[in-house]
């Protein structure tokens, strides 16, 4: 009897390692493109194989195998999908609504109102020059 502990630990190491990386936007586009091209090719091959053999079971088996391969290619966070990570801008503490995030101390109370961050989805009003 073979123990599956080696394969299990290898699988968990793969899943944990891939959960740390994030697939970036270009990686998502790349994965979708690979999946669509692969599914087009698999559908064509499955249809031709079923037509030549005149057996629907052959066609469905080839197609199901292609779908599994497509999932393996596109679903996990492979390293080729996280090549161009997004660089986020630093947060501006003056726009924060939380007092502990700003540089002001809680002991000094100023009468000047703080700037509030614009509500997402609403456009900012521009001041007119004139």
Arithmetic mean of pLDDT, 58-78: 94
Contact 106, 86 (CB under 8 A): no
Closest CA to 117 of 88, 91, 103, 97: 97
pLDDT at 52: 97
Q: Are 94 and 114 in contact (CB under 8 A)?
A: yes
Nearest to 76 by CA among 22, 10, 9: 22
Convert the pLDDT of each residue in 69-122 to its tens digit: 999 999 888 888 888 877 778 887 777 776 665 555 545 555 566 666 555 555
Query: How many C-beta atoms surround the C-beta of residue 126 within 10 A?
Result: 6
Chain segment 1-11, per-residue pLDDT in tens:
445 566 666 66
Residue with tokens 């066609």: 59
């Amino acid at each position: 009897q073979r123990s599956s502990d080696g394969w299990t630990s290898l699988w968990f190491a793969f899943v944990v390692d891939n959960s740390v990386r994030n697939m970036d936007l270009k990686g998502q586009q790349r994965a979708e493109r690979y999946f669509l091209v692969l599914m087009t090719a698999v559908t064509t091959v499955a249809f031709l194989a079923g037509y030549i053999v005149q057996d629907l079971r052959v066609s469905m088996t080839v197609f199901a195998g292609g779908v599994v391969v497509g999932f393996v290619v596109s679903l996990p966070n492979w390293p080729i999908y996280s090549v161009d990570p997004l660089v986020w801008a630093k947060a501006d503490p003056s726009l924060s609504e939380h007092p502990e995030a700003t540089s002001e101390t809680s002991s000094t109370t100023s009468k000047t109102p703080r700037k509030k961050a614009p509500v997402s989805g609403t456009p900012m009003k521009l001041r007119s020059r004139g």
